[in-house]
Structure 1
Amino acid sequence: MLTQAADAVWGGRPGAPRGSLEMYVKRTPGADLLAHTGVHRVFAMQVGREVRVMVLPELVDDVQAQVVAWDVAKQVEEELTYSGQIRVTVVRESRAAEYAR
């Protein structure tokens, strides 16, 4: 029991070795996470403590972005074993640039 507690503390600290989340994100491109409408890319960030989901702004509005975040968080909860918590961030961004000559 003490070993399990130590392992949970070790895995939950900043700078912990890469864990199952990175392997999960690498394993699933084009599959479960990308199956959501408008999802463009998925990244594991901050040593596996954050999943960043990039969506296409023309296909996903603000409400749908929240739904995607909730769906991905539920999917991570159900399919992974980890200590602490994993933050799911959906990025919906559009940019416009012009140059003055």
Structure 2
Amino acid sequence: VKVADGISVSRPGAQKEMLENYIKRMQSLETVARSFTGVSNAYAIQAGRELRVIVEHTAVDDAKTKALANNIAAKLKDEMELPGQVKVTVIREYRSIDYAK
């Protein structure tokens, strides 16, 4: 079996096809997340096992972040073939800055 794996991997184009599929899957994860209202950006990390979604603080309040994470996870499950579990993290950040003189 190891010899067969070695021959298969050494075949021209074998690694490139795997890399292309990996990149497409990562992009698809991000595209699904970006399709939701209020999402400003999404990043697939950990080889596609985690999806971090950045939302606009004016468009999504704290209460809606959990629902958004659930909706994104459900859409991923429905539309994609996932090799395992994907953790969806929704990040909503608001910063207030002031200076003391």
Please indicate the TM-score interval, normalised by the length of the shorter structure. 0.5 to 0.7
Residue 23 of structure 1: CA displacement? 2.9
> Percent identity at matched positions?
35
Q: Report whether the alignment pairs 1:53 with 2:57.
A: no
User: In the alignment, what sits opposite 2:36?
Assistant: 36
Structure number with higher relative contact order (C-alpha < 8 Å, ≥ 6 residues apart): 1
TM-score if structure 1 supplies the norm length? Answer: 0.66
Residue 69 of structure 1: CA displacement? 0.4
Find the structure with the greater CA-based Rg.
Answer: 2
Runs of 4+ in 1 over 4 A off after TM superposition: none
The aligned runs of 1:1-101 (5 Å cut-off) are 19=22, 20-25=24-29, 28=31, 32-101=32-101
Query: Structure 1: which 5+ runs fail to align?
Result: 1-16
- Partner amino acid, structure 2, of 1:70: N
Aligned residues: 81
Residue 73 of structure 1: CA displacement? 0.3
- Structure 1's 82 and 36: CA in aligned 2 closer, same or farther, altered over 3 A? closer
Query: Structure 2: which 5+ runs fail to align?
Result: 1-18
The separation in 1 between residues aligned to 2:63 and 2:52, in whole angstroms, is 17
TM-score if structure 2 supplies the norm length? Answer: 0.66
Residue 71 of structure 1: CA displacement? 0.8
Contact 2:29 2:48 in 1 (8 A): no
* CA RMSD between the two structures: 2.2
Contact 1:69 1:88 in 2 (8 A): yes
The separation in 1 between residues aligned to 2:84 and 2:96, in whole angstroms, is 38
Which protein is richer in helix relative to its size?
2
Contact 1:40 1:55 in 2 (8 A): yes
Deviations for 1:72-100, whole angstroms, at most 9, x for unmatched residues? 10111112212220000000111122344
